[in-house]
Amino acid sequence: MTLVDLAPAGPTERSARPMTRLMPWLLPLVVALAGLLSVDVPITAILRYAVYFSAGVALPGVLLLRALWRSTGNWAEDLGLGAVVGITYQLLGWALFTVAGWQQALVVWPALVLALFAAVPRLRRHWRIAEPRPLPMAWTWGLAAAAAVMVGGATFGVYAYHPMPPAGTAYYPDLLFHLSMVNELTRSAPPQLPQVAGLQLDYHWFANADMAAAVDITRLSPILVLYRLWLLPMLVVGLLVFATFARTVSRAWWTGVLVAVAVAAPQLALFVDNGVDLAPPFSLVSPSQTFGMLAGTAAAVFLVELLFRGRQPKGLWVLALSVAVVGGGSKPTILPILVGAVGLSALFVLIRDRKLPARFIAAGALLVAAAVGTLLTVAGSTSGSGLQLLAIVKLQGGYRAATGDATPAGGGGLLLPALTSGRFLSVVGALVVFALMLVAQAVALAGYGLLGRREVRRDPLGWFLLGGLVAGWAGFLLVDHPSASESYFVRSVVPMSLAATGWLAALWFKQLQDRRRAAIVVGVLAAGLGLVYTAALTAAKVTPRGDQLDRVVLVARPLVAVLAVTVVLTMLWPLAAKRWSQLAGLGGVVALATILAVPAASTFALGVRATASHQSKSFTSPHWRVHPDEAAAALWLARNSRPNDVVASNTWCRPAGPERPGCDTRGYLVSGIAGRRTLIEGWAYTQQAMSRQGVNGRRYTNQPSPWPDRVQLTNEAIDSPTPEVLRRLREQYSVRWLYADLYDGPVSPRLAQLAHLRHREQHVHIYELTR
């Protein structure tokens, strides 16, 4: 019998009245409503999306979860896991209906589940929880408060920073790129590459397909869904899934609250200062990270039940595999982490028992097959990646100053260049920056504390968590991606590290007599120590200058401060424990809680500092500026063209201006805001461009087009058109529209004679090819 089997089975207190139990959840609902209204989202759109997600995604998912497996015993955790199952089911429906051309009837797909579970007698029982095991009200209040912080930070902080087109003056390029995919996925499966019409989209697009399904069902605009509505329920579902995973691992209800608070607390900074994105691991600008992490954590819950909790219904295999595939199709980092988790726990069982149960073999084989399948089909954006130990260190603050190394991502051999430079100070500088990076990633490292507990080392579940951590950190430290996307490996293992940390804390608290008092002491000390570490880090951080030795010393100051505080606390703790007996036995759990508290304190301090410096409250980057007439013309085109129309435009470079060699090719004005396929637009995120990272000393974002013939044809059509050129556009590439942007170069007056000028918006002319 394992340690997990001996742990408490879960909460047993009497259930509160249904209305009393629902009251805490009014808090995040009110905050979300106020936040969305503050960024000008119509109340009708909010209500429509709320009805869609609750009745069209979460409820069908809960019913399927209970039918294929069981209820968790409470509605909150059922809704968390059920929402992920509902999303998985919705993606299947989206694919079927889109292939058939029935996207506008997609609402039938979730309605079918509701109708079946209402009509079939054997299925009706799943509308209720057969064996209720309600969680304490403290759990409900804790999760509801954390959810309120998450949605408040997202709406008042991040949404306010990113105006929706056409209200802003600049738009974060990744959001426009994702917007182009959402539009594409409302019209075709498998999708085409919106920036190069006719080619297949090679990207991990499952999150965008989920948004497209939401657009199909709600009939709301893709801009509104991506920029304002899609993320909020994902944040709440994420907290519920993380908390469920923590409780599943530790068998202690309060570890779920600990995990939720650890994730939500860093978002408090967004209430005092707007930001480009949420604090990790969630993200607005990378919906694939948010979506993939949710699915991966839910799959981990199912795998724990399958592998370590005795005989399970066969339907749980369907849930585990399908949700894992969704995770892999959303982010390429997810399946390697799950493979590592299953693989290391299987190795432990094999060594311990001299045999390996079939369920481990089946789970490992299915996950490996899913990883290979998604890698070959939907895990794009990996081109240009290589292997280099500690490559991620190159992109950390202070690295170049401390080492003098300016090697770009994707270059430099198999080992971090500074470590092979032969210069002592460069090696020392690289190691200092690496140590600082570990300090910054302490939350994702904390789970390795499992190795310090003998009872956990004897439990295969512990090795499951460690296997996921090892796989995530291996990807983080070994992969060298042109855009540093290896960082998503370590973000994706945060739920596993937090679950492991919660388990460790539960084991420590299990040994204490007065646990309530101990919890208060730990919370107060962790908050105080978090502030101490934050103050030390903030005070020690300065801009490196001078010769290399001076720069190394200045870069190392925060590390020295952390080490100094740690040494002092380590020396003082035994004396304090001797003086105050209530501190005895709390050293380990206080250390873990402090690790979780530091990110919240640090981000809040940075937010206050940014506010004091009068940082811009919205995204206004001149590099990513979109002129009002450009956005207005794009929206006119969206309203007056057909979804499958192809547009030729000269808007591939940012910032707007005459075409020049080496420009930043992340221009997604027409494919994003207008939502139409283009003959050629920003090609930076294509596999072909990313594979050329470093060629001629340029980043992949500044490489020439892999399709020069399309660039040439577009330029000829706009600045020197002939009947033959326009006929080729129409017949060879099915181009129907020309979006001619005078900001990006001259437009020939003759074009109005050869094509129909349909719309003029100051510097933008839109032509229709009718002959």
Residue 134 and residue 232: Cα distance in Å, rounded? Answer: 25
Q: Residues 144, 24: contact at Cβ < 8 Å?
A: yes
The pLDDT assigned to 603 comes to 78
The pLDDT assigned to 602 comes to 78
From the DSSP assignment, how many helices (H) and strands (E) are in the chain?
34, 7
Residue recorded with tokens 């923590």: 246
Phi, psi of 507 (to 5 degrees): -65, -40
The pLDDT assigned to 381 comes to 61
- Averaged pLDDT for residues 186-197: 97
- Asked if the model's pLDDT at residue 616 lies above 80, the reply is no
The pLDDT assigned to 647 comes to 98
- Asked if the model's pLDDT at residue 612 lies above 60, the reply is no
Residue 64 and residue 149: Cα distance in Å, rounded? Answer: 30
Q: How many CB atoms lie within 10 A of CB 16?
A: 14
Nearest to 702 by CA among 748, 740, 666, 743: 666
Show the CA angle centred on residue 453, arms to residues 602 and 346, nearest 5°. Answer: 100
Show the CA angle centred on residue 57, arms to residues 52 and 59, nearest 5°. Answer: 105
Q: How buried is residue 254: exposed, middle or buried, by Cβ count under 10 Å (0-12/13-18/19+)?
A: buried
- pLDDT tens column, 417-457: 999 999 999 999 999 999 999 999 999 999 999 999 999 99
Q: Residues 230, 287: contact at Cβ < 8 Å?
A: yes
Residue 306 and residue 9: Cα distance in Å, rounded? Answer: 17
Residue 96 and residue 764: Cα distance in Å, rounded? Answer: 38
Residues 6+ apart with CB under 8 A from 376: none
Residues 6+ apart with CB under 8 A from 448: 466, 469, 497, 500
Maximum distance among all Cα pairs of the chain, rounded to whole angstroms: 91
Q: How many CB atoms lie within 10 A of CB 721?
A: 23
The CA dihedral of 363, 325, 256, 457, to the nearest 10 degrees, is: 30
Least trusted range by pLDDT, from 9-13, 361-365, 572-576: 9-13
Q: Residues 91, 189: contact at Cβ < 8 Å?
A: no
Residue recorded with tokens 């933008």: 764
- Asked if the model's pLDDT at residue 604 lies above 90, the reply is no
pTM above 0.85, yes or no: yes
The pLDDT assigned to 16 comes to 61
Residue 730 and residue 640: Cα distance in Å, rounded? Answer: 18
The pLDDT assigned to 7 comes to 39
**pLDDT band for position 20 (cuts 50, 70, 90):** confident
**pLDDT band for position 81 (cuts 50, 70, 90):** very high
Q: Average pLDDT of the chain?
A: 93
Helix (H) or strand (E) run with residue 740 in it: strand 735-741
Whether a cis peptide bond, with omega within 30° of 0, leads into 544 is no
Least trusted range by pLDDT, from 90-94, 108-112, 278-282, 316-320: 278-282
Q: What is the DSSP annotation of 63-82?
A: HHHHHHT---SSHHHHHHHH
**pLDDT band for position 178 (cuts 50, 70, 90):** very high
The pLDDT assigned to 519 comes to 86
Residues 6+ apart with CB under 8 A from 290: 207, 231, 234, 235, 238, 282, 283, 284
- pLDDT tens column, 692-734: 998 998 999 999 999 999 999 999 999 999 999 999 999 999 9
Residues 6+ apart with CB under 8 A from 415: 388, 389, 390
- pLDDT tens column, 485-497: 999 999 999 999 9
Q: What is the DSSP code (8-state) at residue 163?
A: P
- Selected residue with higher pLDDT from 222 and 586: 222
- Selected residue with higher pLDDT from 617 and 342: 342
**pLDDT band for position 10 (cuts 50, 70, 90):** very low
Across the strands, what pairs with 479? 387
- Asked if the model's pLDDT at residue 84 lies above 60, the reply is yes
Strands 756-761 and 479-480 come out as unpaired
The pLDDT assigned to 9 comes to 40
Residue 176 and residue 192: Cα distance in Å, rounded? Answer: 16
- Averaged pLDDT for residues 213-235: 98
Q: What is the DSSP code (8-state) at residue 765?
A: E
- Asked if the model's pLDDT at residue 6 lies above 50, the reply is no
**pLDDT band for position 13 (cuts 50, 70, 90):** very low
Q: Where are the domains of the chain?
A: 3-10+30-382+442-497, 514-615, 623-768
Residue 214 and residue 216: Cα distance in Å, rounded? Answer: 5
- Averaged pLDDT for residues 190-194: 97
- Asked if the model's pLDDT at residue 171 lies above 90, the reply is yes
Nearest to 685 by CA among 177, 167, 48, 199: 177
**pLDDT band for position 108 (cuts 50, 70, 90):** very high
Nearest to 461 by CA among 474, 447, 475: 447
Q: How buried is residue 660: exposed, middle or buried, by Cβ count under 10 Å (0-12/13-18/19+)?
A: exposed
- Asked if the model's pLDDT at residue 304 lies above 60, the reply is yes
The CA dihedral of 753, 758, 761, 763, to the nearest 10 degrees, is: -30
**pLDDT band for position 609 (cuts 50, 70, 90):** low
Q: Residues 91, 209: contact at Cβ < 8 Å?
A: yes
The pLDDT assigned to 607 comes to 67
Query: What is the separation, in whole angstroms, between the first and last Cα of the chain?
Result: 78
Nearest to 711 by CA among 665, 748, 680, 683: 680
What is the SS3 assignment for 757? strand
Helix (H) or strand (E) run with residue 739 in it: strand 735-741
Residue 111 and residue 100: Cα distance in Å, rounded? Answer: 18
What is the SS3 assignment for 251? coil
Half-sphere exposure of 38 (CA within 13 A, CB side): 18
Tell me the angle at which helices 315-330 and 358-377 cross, rounded to the nearest 10 degrees. 30
- Averaged pLDDT for residues 554-578: 92
Q: How many residues does the chain have?
A: 771
The amino acid at 209: A
- Asked if the model's pLDDT at residue 317 lies above 90, the reply is yes
Phi, psi of 650 (to 5 degrees): -105, 40
The pLDDT assigned to 472 comes to 98
Across the strands, what pairs with 646? 677, 735
Q: How far is CA 56 from the centre of its chain?
A: 23
Residue 460 and residue 458: Cα distance in Å, rounded? Answer: 7
Task: Name the CA radius of gyration of the chain, rounded.
Answer: 27
The CA dihedral of 473, 479, 481, 485, to the nearest 10 degrees, is: -10
Spatial strand order of the sheet with 735-741 comes to: 677-678, 646-649, 735-741, 764-768, 756-761
The pLDDT assigned to 683 comes to 97
The pLDDT assigned to 409 comes to 86
Percent of the chain with pLDDT over 90: 81
